[in-house]
Amino acid sequence: MRSVVVYANQQAVADATGARLGVALSDVIAQRGVAHVVLTGGTVGIGLLASLASSPLVGLIDWTSVHVWWGDERFVGARDADRNEGQAQRVLLGIVPLPEENIHRMGSADEFPTAESAAAAYAAEVAAHGTPAWDVLLLGVGPDGHVASLFPGHPVYAAADLVEAVAVHDSPKPPPNRVSLSLASINRAREVWVVAAGEAKAAAVSGGLAGDKNLPVAAVAGTERTLWLIDASASTEI
Ligand SMILES: O=C1O[C@H](COP(=O)(O)O)[C@@H](O)[C@H](O)[C@H]1O
């Protein structure tokens, strides 16, 4: 099932999605005992975590039952400001009582010689946890229609279907070296939530919803539900 929800502006998308995530995590834990959430970087992706951190909902979640994963990561030094995990750590993960062993970071350039070795290690980490069907998987969208670090026309996007995680080089958006979940891994999620705000995302949103095969964002779907959580500016071309 696919639904599109349009909010007034970027902050409203972040606030509503942060609250939605808090409720979803509590529900999943009540139903299944453990929740696997996949985070995204980007403006809305980090904004919604900050919003959840300042919501009363944050205190209702049993964080010891939450496992946190990433859809993609920039393959740079561990302390680089570009790291998606560092940004998430600052706004939410470092504030809530989340056990360190439940935080599944993609490897940095300080720990691994190549993005390939970091991707292989991440695939092994996913396998070691039973290759979970992600309960909620968040995805930002680039103006070019990329999701995670799967970019339109990039050779890795076309080839990345049979593995869990891939190394990406020559990313059109800096930094050039990245690690990403594959489309197959993304589409194992029970719920995929695509978040986008701003006029720059309008073409990617309309192309994605129309099923433009050139756009990675058009190829993502949850097995139970796909939610597009966007603001009015990003919805102008639908
Ligand atoms: O590089 C990335 O970009 C996308 C979208 O970011 P945004 O700032 O345009 O919202 C993000 O989803 C991805 O995780 C990140 O690595």
Structural contact between residues 10 and 39, judged by C-beta atoms closer than 8 angstroms: no
Round to whole Å and give the CA distance between 49 and 55.
Answer: 10
What are the phi and psi torsion angles at 106 (to 5°)? -75, 145
Q: Which CATH architecture has domain 2-235?
A: 3-Layer(aba) Sandwich (3.40)
Which pLDDT value is given to residue 157?
Answer: 81
Q: Measure the CA–CA gap between 202 and 47, rounded to whole angstroms.
A: 19
Give the amino acid at 134.
W
The residue nearest atom 9 of ligand 1, judged by CA position, is: 142
C-beta 42 within 6 A of ligand 1: yes
pTM above 0.95, yes or no: yes
Q: HSE (CB half, 13 Å, CA atoms) of 224?
A: 8
> Which of 149, 154, 171 best tests ligand 1's pocket when mutated (most atoms within 8 Å of CB)?
149
Residue 135 and residue 122: Cα distance in Å, rounded?
18
**3-class DSSP assignment, residue 64:** helix
CA-based torsion, 115, 166, 34, 10: positive or negative: positive
Question: CA torsion, points 91, 196, 121, 170, in degrees to nearest 10?
Answer: -120
Three-state DSSP state, 65: helix
Q: What is the pLDDT of residue 158?
A: 72
Tell me, what amino acid is at 233?
Answer: S
d(CA 24, CA 21): 5
DSSP state, residue 187: T
CA dist list (Å): 74 to 27, 51, 161: 31, 23, 20
Cα(167)–Cα(116) distance, integer angstroms:
5
SS3 225: strand
40: Cβ below 6 Å to ligand 1? yes
User: Which of 72, 139, 217 maximizes ligand 1 atoms within 8 Å of its Cβ, making it the mutation to test the pocket?
Assistant: 72
> Given this model, what pLDDT does residue 160 score?
63
Between CA 171 and CA 150 the distance in angstroms is: 9
Digit-by-digit pLDDT tens for the chain (238 residues) are: 999 999 999 999 999 999 999 999 999 999 999 999 999 999 999 999 999 999 999 999 999 999 999 999 999 999 999 999 999 999 999 999 999 999 999 999 999 999 999 999 999 999 999 999 999 999 999 999 999 999 999 988 877 667 999 999 999 999 999 999 999 999 999 999 999 999 999 999 999 999 999 999 999 999 999 999 999 999 999 9
Query: From the CB of 84, is ligand 1 less than 6 Å away?
Result: yes
Pairing between β-strand 66-70 and β-strand 165-168 as defined by DSSP bridges: unpaired
